[in-house]
Amino acid sequence: MIPTNPPCRTVSPSRAVTVSRVRARGTAFTLIELLVVIAIIAILAALLLPALAKAKQRGQSIACLARLKQLQMGWIMYCDDNNGRMPQNFASDSGHLGSGSPAQNLMYMPGGLYSAWVLGQAGGPPDWTNNLNITQGTLWPYLNSMEVYKCPGDTVPERNRTYSMNCWMNGINSYGGANGTTPQGWNNSCFWFQQISDLTMKLEPTMACVYIDESPITINDAYFVEDPSQPQQWIDAPAHYHLNGGNLSFVDGHAENKKWSDSAVLNLTQSGGASGFKGDASQNYNDLHWLQMRFTVVKTALQGR
């Protein structure tokens, strides 16, 4: 007869503990195995982090291009509403828009003598946090968005603007300018544009740069200077937030990315001011010439056309 309850084997307490310890040792990591796993994770992180950083910068560049296109469309709409006349673009050191300027003054407001697409400075406090410099600019009614004026690649949270306008697009310069009425008094060798129609036979709309992402080293006012009559001299410097590239917008409404290779721009640590700084001769000034060709035209270059 088969017993319904077979006898149970009994295990001594000491043997049970021994078996448990053996099983634990069989399933746990040894110190060497743990170190190997950590090393593998570290290697994978080292391989992946640069790729993730590049992906982030590419995403920021796409967002920057979108913002520049919005800014450019605001500029185009302003020109359409003003019979083709471009918004004014003052140099801050002209005496009208210096740091701490009274943006509430009616002369600085849209329609005033010293109205401009934006006011004030973006190079440092207190102006770079003063949103009135943007909201009382002539383009604000067309945009109504603070983020449109700033590249997402800029890591300074206080700065409210990184974009500047081509100085030859209705720019009023301090060098020889008087009362905000003299265009480019410091340089009569290049063409200065007040109306869209002024570009005819000089710069194609697809080649005429309006806005550019400016380097935090040179940014101050909203007035970006390059002088084609100085083929080896940078005045202001473009930003290179996007894998050594920067973004620009053009009269026809498109925006594009430009990869900079000039070491003088990529390694810039101090602004040269009005005298600018020398470009990298080993690069044959290719970046500088590329940008100058999209800013204006030397008058003698059009002789004989």
Structural tokens at position 221: 């006012």
Pairing of strands 255-259, 223-224: unpaired
Count the neighbouring beta carbons within 10 Å of the beta carbon of residue 104: 9
Pairing of strands 209-213, 163-166: antiparallel
**pLDDT truncated to tens, each residue of the chain (305 aa)?**
555 555 555 555 555 555 555 454 556 778 887 888 888 888 887 776 676 666 676 788 899 999 999 999 999 999 999 999 999 998 865 445 544 555 567 888 888 888 899 988 899 888 899 898 899 999 999 999 999 999 999 999 999 999 999 999 998 865 434 444 444 445 678 888 999 999 998 999 999 999 999 999 999 889 999 989 899 999 999 999 999 999 999 999 999 999 999 999 999 999 988 789 999 999 999 999 999 999 999 988 765 55
Burial 193-231 (b: 16+ CB within 10 A, else e): beebebbeebbeeeebbbbbbbbbbbbbbbbbbbbbebe
Q: Give me the half-sphere count of Cα atoms (radius 13 Å) on the Cβ side of residue 23.
A: 6
Q: Is the peptide bond between 152 and the residue preceding it cis, with omega within 30 degrees of 0?
A: no
Structural tokens at position 231: 């083929």
